[in-house]
Structure 1
């Protein structure tokens, strides 16, 4: 590891996290004249939105929102982006922070044109975490088709033979395996934590069978399947046999509103499952879809209309009841489930081709807490202390939220960061 204690400040506001909230915060602050340093731990910006097929309220593809933001970032000299970087430590107080940032090597420099010749010759593969491990990718890879920066990454696990092949295949001298991890110190006046969320680990929900039965997937896995750049090129298929599913059940609040897992409502899960039902209806007009729920949360007129239209579909069934247990039918791979219909009081036993668990959002900061003077609520979300100022949480680092709410919140946090600087 190398340490550079004389690193340039790089801006008066640091934004940690390059998802939709972090991008919005950085752009709002930079476009009114402030210097911004945008830190992202992954090789590319975009966060969870980049993994979606479509997002509300207009059911836009990720390209719709991300491409214009990437262009704004690229065209704005006040924004400095550092990817594969993580905040190690924050010292100081509002208006005067020293932030220690660890930067991992990409092994690819700015000469990269994303031509892909390195991937063609690379023989080793790694799990594709962008697709939640549903497929594999080359150890020389582009994070995804909308990556920003549009540069390849060489996995640290790549063997010596593949390293040599990749270097020889690159016509632009872009591959550098001598890159080292380094640590830089930055002086900033305010910090916005836009560290986002991760899907709750469904394997921890013992009674719902994820990981034991192949045809049980999560809502984000279904989102990746439905995406054209996903593991199945946009086709939603049953994992065990690549069969087109004819019956699909959704288990809402999988791990949410549960004191043993996530005690809160994650806000987005109901609308996500309603959206996923439309994906399935487009691909399989005759498929039967069953949505098991405790309560359906469809806040606002647009979301309520979306729900109302879906209720008119004769092949979509809503059952007010929580899935209590699941199993697997011998020989078929079909999923059996048991739930109680709370409206009729009857116990339901059903067999479906595939079960989708609507897992909730867990704030990344609750799992990997930043080494900084921050307050958290009981659920692990960062609490904004506006009286103290200096550091603020935006988007899903602060509370469960959809894209629209996250962007609104991020704009507000950009203003709060600016106010910190103005008052000093």
Structure 2
């Protein structure tokens, strides 16, 4: 059984991405007891799936390592992975949260040696790589995963593969008898940091994401470019594995559209500009855009990318994509600067899909005030529940971290009032 000591002076953080980790660490470093609940087998969220940040083109691994070290060193922080908050009752200063914990089938004895993964034969689509590759039925989610413990897919429990994993483990870390459990936690304040999810490109029918292998999303392209990704960093076509020579980026794919996402996600333009630097300089890049959102410190980066000889900007809302020769997508539309119709063929098309909240109002465990896009509003009616990062709005990493720090301070104020009242 998972044992967690929590009181109404504890801060509960729901979601262990960059915002949740930031809020949890900042609150714990003020001396508060913090419990962080994360549904994935590891913390770090979607930031761990990025190859580089914009505009400096630096790697996320540095910041991740620092945050993980801060988390490990702080005795005030208790992290529970593979767990979801299913219910919250009470009021500010006195909440009770119900948490469902899924079995990992690997206990704390795990050394990360990988013997269980090598023994298992079954393979599954790798969700960390957005299904672009495969992983074993016993696996480490990614090289920097925290906790650095393997996971056994529940689909192999009861099979010979599961027993092979158990037999291969020399330290007795495989526990095939683990069961799902439910616990209750007390908390004085709750920080909701469940982050964002990419808009479902299958819904954008004219772009053929569900029909054409060589139409992918920006988050999938990020994994292709990563040397630790499914192709070892080679940007290739999913249809035939050939390296690309011509890539198109379609901006506002499903965004600023009454049929899809009403809002602008703020980051998509910069993400595509960043991704335009990933291929080699002999790869032709075409960016189809309505307008480019590159303000303040991002303007210089925009100008740098725009000056590259292999990058071309086409002011147009792409109307449709059809299948051309050799499975190459053909983009149809009108260039709104010259009002010329085009039918442009590309090796690979990347849809810059927007951000939407990971948890919608219908599945939220407590009444809370949200706006029409589904983001949590900073409303007094939310009591001691505070959004952090992309639960509050579409934000880049820098702004998400800043917002999470603010959420931590507000939560600390709530539990300070509880402590003051009881004192």
TM-score by length of 1: 0.96
What is aligned with 2:25?
27
* Counterparts of 1:229 and 1:270, CA distance in 2: 24
What is aligned with 1:274?
273
State the superposition RMSD in angstroms: 1.5
1:345-424 aligned at under 5 Å gives the runs: 345-366=339-360, 369-386=363-380, 389-424=383-418
Inter-CA distance 368–163: structure 2 relative to 1 (3 Å threshold): farther
What is aligned with 1:226?
225
Q: Quick check: 1:320 aligned with 2:318?
A: no
Give the drift of 1:242: 1.3
Asked whether the equivalents of residues 256 and 263 of structure 1 are also in contact (C-alpha less than 8 Å), the reply is yes
* Counterparts of 1:310 and 1:247, CA distance in 2: 16
1:52-63 aligned at under 5 Å gives the runs: 52-63=50-61
Question: Which sits farther off after the overlay, 203-212 or 366-375?
Answer: 366-375
SS of residue paired to 1:55:
coil
What is aligned with 1:290?
286
1:177-188 aligned at under 5 Å gives the runs: 177-188=176-187
What is aligned with 1:8?
5
* Counterparts of 1:300 and 1:392, CA distance in 2: 28
* Counterparts of 1:138 and 1:115, CA distance in 2: 14
SS of residue paired to 2:359:
helix
* Counterparts of 1:105 and 1:166, CA distance in 2: 15
Q: Quick check: 1:97 aligned with 2:92?
A: no
Give the drift of 1:373: 2.2
Which of 336, 341, 349 is the matching residue for 1:342? Answer: 336
* Counterparts of 2:361 and 2:159, CA distance in 1: 34
SS of residue paired to 2:52:
coil
TM-score by length of 2: 0.96
Q: Which blocks of at least 5 consecutive residues in structure 2 are unaligned?
A: 419-423
Q: Quick check: 1:299 aligned with 2:295?
A: yes
1:54-73 aligned at under 5 Å gives the runs: 54-73=52-71
Deviations 1:224-267 (A, max 9, x none): 00112111011111111111111111110011111111110011
Asked whether the equivalents of residues 87 and 370 of structure 1 are also in contact (C-alpha less than 8 Å), the reply is no
Q: Which runs of 4+ in 1 moved over 4 A?
A: none
Asked whether the equivalents of residues 389 and 420 of structure 1 are also in contact (C-alpha less than 8 Å), the reply is no
* Counterparts of 2:333 and 2:387, CA distance in 1: 38
SS of residue paired to 1:375:
coil
SS of residue paired to 1:68:
helix
1:46-57 aligned at under 5 Å gives the runs: 46-57=44-55
What is aligned with 2:167?
168
* Counterparts of 1:387 and 1:130, CA distance in 2: 36
SS of residue paired to 2:277:
helix
Count of residues in correspondence between the two structures: 416
